[in-house]
Amino acid sequence: MKLNQNTIAGLAELLETAELQAHDVVKITDAHPEMDWDDAYAIQAEILRRKLARGNRVVGLKCGLTSRAKMKQMGVDTPCFGFLVDTFTVADGGEVKIKELIHPKVEPEIVFVLKQALRGPGCHVGAVLAATDFVMPGIEVIDSRYRDFKFDLKSVIADNCSSSRYALGGMAVPLAGLDLRTLGVVMEKNGQPVAIGAGAAVLGHPAAAIAMLANHLGARDQEIPAGTMILSGGVTEAVAVAAGDHVSLRIQSLGGVSLKFI
Ligand code: 0L1
Ligand code: MG
When pLDDT is cut at 50, 70 and 90, the band that residue 23 belongs to is very high
- Residue 142 CA to ligand 1 center (angstroms) comes to 6
Q: Which ligand is nearest to the Cα of residue 139, counting in written order? A: 2
Q: What is the mean pLDDT of the chain?
A: 97
pTM of the complete model: 0.97
pLDDT (tens digit, 9 = 90+) per residue, 195-213?
A: 999 999 999 999 999 999 9
pLDDT (tens digit, 9 = 90+) per residue, 220-260?
A: 999 999 999 999 999 999 999 999 999 999 999 999 999 99
SS (HEC) of 11-66: HHHHHHHHHHHCCCECCHHHCCCCCCHHHHHHHHHHHHHHHHHCCCCEEEEEEECC
pLDDT (average), residues 157-171: 97
Nearest CA residue ID for atom 9, ligand 1 = 162
Residue 57: pLDDT above 90?
A: yes
Strand pairing class (239-240; 105-114): antiparallel
Pure H helices in the chain: 5-21, 37-53, 68-74, 125-131, 153-158, 206-218
Pocket test for ligand 1, best of 24, 44, 68, 80 (most atoms within 8 A of CB): 80
Provide the CATH number for the domain formed by 58-261 in this structure. Answer: 3.90.850.10
Instruction: Kindly report the backbone phi and psi dihedral angles of residue 251, in degrees, each rounded to the nearest multiple of 5, phi listed first.
Output: -120, 130
Which pLDDT score, from 0 to 100, does residue 75 have?
80
- Residue 36 CA to ligand 2 center (angstroms) comes to 23
Residues with CB under 6 A from ligand 1: 62, 64-65, 70, 74, 80, 107, 140, 142, 144, 156, 161-162, 233-234, 238
Dist. CA 136–CA 111, nearest whole Å: 5
- Residue 254 CA to ligand 2 center (angstroms) comes to 18
Q: Which ligand is nearest to the Cα of residue 138, counting in written order? A: 2
Radius of gyration of the chain (CA): 17
Nearest CA residue ID for atom 5, ligand 1 = 64
Residue 71: pLDDT above 90?
A: no
Which pLDDT score, from 0 to 100, does residue 125 have?
98
Dist. CA 121–CA 112, nearest whole Å: 20
Residue 72: pLDDT above 90?
A: no
pLDDT (average), residues 27-47: 97
Residue type at position 66: T
pLDDT (tens digit, 9 = 90+) per residue, 82-107?
A: 999 999 999 999 999 999 999 999 99
pLDDT (average), residues 33-51: 97
- Residue 107 CA to ligand 1 center (angstroms) comes to 9
When pLDDT is cut at 50, 70 and 90, the band that residue 69 belongs to is confident
Residue 168: pLDDT above 90?
A: yes
